[in-house]
Amino acid sequence: MKKRFALDIALVLGLGIATSVAMGWMSWRSDTSAVAAQFHDEVAERAGLLDRQLVLDLGVLHSLKVLYDTSEDVSRQDFSTVAMGILKRHPNVQALEWIPKVPHEERPAYETSARSDGYRDFQITQRASQGQMIQAEVRPHYFPVYFVEPLVGNELAVGFDLASSSTRLHALVDSQNSGRLLATASITLVQETGDQKGFLGLLPIYDGAPTSATERTRLLRGFVLGVFRIGDIFQSASPRKLPGDRGHVAISLIDESAGAGNAVLHRQSLTDDSRLVHQFSYRKALKDVAGRHWAIVATPTGDYISAQRSWAPLIALLVGLTFTALLSVYLRLISTRTAQVERLVERRTNELQEANTALEKYTIDLEHSNRELQSFAHVASHDLQEPLRKVQMFGDRLMERCSGELSEQGQDYVARMHSATSRMQTLIDDLLAFSRVTTKNQSLEVVDLARIAKLVLSDLETRIEQTGGTVHVNDLPTIHADRTQMHQLLQNLIGNALKFHRPGQPPIVKVHGSILNGKGGNGVQDMDGQAVFELTVQDNGIGFEEKYRDRIFTIFQRLHGRSAYEGTGVGLAVCRKVAERHGGDISVNSVPSQGSTFVVRLPISHSAEEEM
């Protein structure tokens, strides 16, 4: 029993833990997707902000272009005024420049003009291989930095010929031919003092509105140029609320149109890159950035992910495990309880068995005692009667043979002795009858009570005649009973009714039988709902006081002296025994000097009903 429960509990425990872990894992996975989705949203938001910032910053070149669209000859002063205004509003713009297209023949004029504007050492320059600025080589066209705002910090750039740098020239040509605002690939700015990368935005200015590349080359006046430091733009497009600022996300800005090795424009890295979780890396392309394709790639750290995660997976696991634990404890309790109940049942069974054994022993004892009683009946019938008979007989002989020799007193003694012996004879006979009712096995058969009553009346004929009595017998049925005992019952009840008549009052005895069909009809209580045969024997005799109603059914109990009414006090005890042996009872109602009514009630078995 115990083993079976242990197995059950282990099974529940195993299944419970497995289910809990599975639930936790599934919840973990869905949570991971949710965290990733949220991270992507944040990265996309950052990309959007960067897009907007770039449009805003690059847009300043269009504002500057208006200056050249409206005037054929823009003075240094004009440029300075407009550029200063723009720079004030766009702090990310490092510098604004005017790059005129200078044919070689006009080079001296430009240099002279600039010097007259205040740049005393102005000349068109290029960067030497060692890094220092030198006079530019002779080329068909120059694209020098002619106006620059602010000047402070950009002094080195003034006069620098952009055509001398292949990266810059490339952008210049592309911009000139497309007529569009173009950005260069990332460059190290001439003005750069830190390690930031920068780029240049170029917007071509033409005379009129050329439509083809050839026309554009011919009509090109120059470029308005913006110098942008990528780091600054990136910073100003970084919202405070985004996680990048918390140091938990590494972000790179990449120029994907720079060919192999995708040039990294900017990197916001962390102090400890080992904590990055690369499987969460997310790339988001920016919108077209002045002809270039940029993208940001963000990678979160484990800390970032942990912070975003919900408690759901852990809760699912804990709830599952708790439930499993509780279920196991509950099962354990049940198994303990079951074991207790089983032990209790076992104990009760043992007790019951002991009780049964005791009962068996008791039954055996009872049978033994019944046998003893039977042998007593035998002893009473034979061995006790034998000497009694002798006393009677020798008494007879004494009277017959020696009466002449006996005095009158002697004869009286013998007569009294004789009377005593016949009384003892009756007593023994009655006792025998009583003990037979108790010990003899009943043989139930169909008994016609009316016939029995007739036999009884013929036995009692002498007494009826002597007393001048009448006996009315009505409605006695046929029932299933012991014939001899029914005879005794009627004999004793009717005999008593005749015997105990009032002096000078002839007895009238009414014997009546009826069948009560259970269910407590007629105001009479039924016996467990069974049909009942009720026998009533009513007389108009001497009756007795209520207080004796139980006593009269006890053996040898008499209410009268022998001289008044003969008898041994066994008759009614026999009647009660007969009623009880048939599963019924006997009761009496009596009023002194008016009469008694005896009622015997016997349950009728089903087999008996069928026979009737």
Partner 1 sequence: MGDTGNSFTLLMAEDDPDDRLLIKEAWEENQFANELHFVEDGEELMEYLQHRDKYANGVDALRPGLILLDLNMPKKDGREALKEIKTDPNLRQIPVVVFTTSSAEEDIVRSYDTGANSYITKPVTFKALIEVLRILRTYWLETVELPPQKA
What is the binding site for partner 1 (CB under 8 A)?
Answer: 378, 381-382, 385-386, 389-390, 392-394, 396-397, 400, 425
* Assigned token pair, 225: 């140029």
Paired with 254 in beta bridges are 264, 295
Written in H, E and C, the secondary structure of 505-518 is CCCEEEEEEEEECC
For partner 1, the closer of residues 48 and 395 by Cβ is 395
Helix (H, G, I), strand (E, B) or coil at 289: strand
> What is d(CA 84, CA 90) in angstroms, rounded to the nearest whole number?
10
For partner 1, the closer of residues 393 and 524 by Cβ is 393
How are beta strands 249-255 and 102-103 bridged, if at all?
unpaired
CA torsion 211→213→219→223, rounded to 10°? 100
> What is d(CA 92, CA 232) in angstroms, rounded to the nearest whole number?
6
Mark 174-186 as b/e (b = at least 16 C-beta within 10 Å): ebbbebebbbbbb
> What single-letter amino acid sits at 128?
A
- Whether 139 and 166 have beta carbons less than 8 Å apart is answered as no
At closest approach, how far in Å is the CB of 454 from partner 1? 22
Mark 304-321 as b/e (b = at least 16 C-beta within 10 Å): bbeebeeeebeebbeebb
Residue 599: closest CA among 521, 511, 475:
511
At closest approach, how far in Å is the CB of 415 from partner 1? 14
Residue 567: closest CA among 500, 468, 506:
500
> What is d(CA 199, CA 184) in angstroms, rounded to the nearest whole number?
6
For partner 1, the closer of residues 256 and 429 by Cβ is 429
Helix (H, G, I), strand (E, B) or coil at 477: coil
How are beta strands 141-142 and 585-591 bridged, if at all?
unpaired
For partner 1, the closer of residues 445 and 550 by Cβ is 445
> What is d(CA 44, CA 46) in angstroms, rounded to the nearest whole number?
5
Residue 566: closest CA among 419, 396, 366:
419
φ/ψ of residue 511, rounded to 5: -105, 125
> What is d(CA 163, CA 219) in angstroms, rounded to the nearest whole number?
18
At closest approach, how far in Å is the CB of 602 from partner 1? 24
At closest approach, how far in Å is the CB of 379 from partner 1? 12
For partner 1, the closer of residues 487 and 499 by Cβ is 487
CA distances from residue 459 to 273, 453, 491, 495, 579 in whole angstroms, order as listed: 131, 10, 8, 10, 22
Helix (H) or strand (E) holding 552: none
Helix (H, G, I), strand (E, B) or coil at 273: helix
For partner 1, the closer of residues 117 and 429 by Cβ is 429
DSSP 451-471: HHHHHHHHHTHHHHHHHT-EE
At closest approach, how far in Å is the CB of 389 from partner 1? 6
For partner 1, the closer of residues 394 and 556 by Cβ is 394
> What is d(CA 155, CA 142) in angstroms, rounded to the nearest whole number?
18
> What is d(CA 344, CA 332) in angstroms, rounded to the nearest whole number?
18
Residues, the chain: 612
At closest approach, how far in Å is the CB of 375 from partner 1? 13
For partner 1, the closer of residues 484 and 597 by Cβ is 484
For partner 1, the closer of residues 105 and 405 by Cβ is 405
At closest approach, how far in Å is the CB of 377 from partner 1? 9
* Assigned token pair, 108: 């001296």
For partner 1, the closer of residues 386 and 408 by Cβ is 386
For partner 1, the closer of residues 13 and 424 by Cβ is 424
At closest approach, how far in Å is the CB of 428 from partner 1? 12
Displacement of CA 167 from its chain's centroid (Å): 74
At closest approach, how far in Å is the CB of 418 from partner 1? 10
For partner 1, the closer of residues 62 and 378 by Cβ is 378
At closest approach, how far in Å is the CB of 395 from partner 1? 9
> What is d(CA 276, CA 269) in angstroms, rounded to the nearest whole number?
10
At closest approach, how far in Å is the CB of 386 from partner 1? 6
At closest approach, how far in Å is the CB of 378 from partner 1? 8
For partner 1, the closer of residues 3 and 382 by Cβ is 382
For partner 1, the closer of residues 77 and 443 by Cβ is 443
At closest approach, how far in Å is the CB of 397 from partner 1? 6
Rg of the chain (C-alpha set): 69
At closest approach, how far in Å is the CB of 409 from partner 1? 23
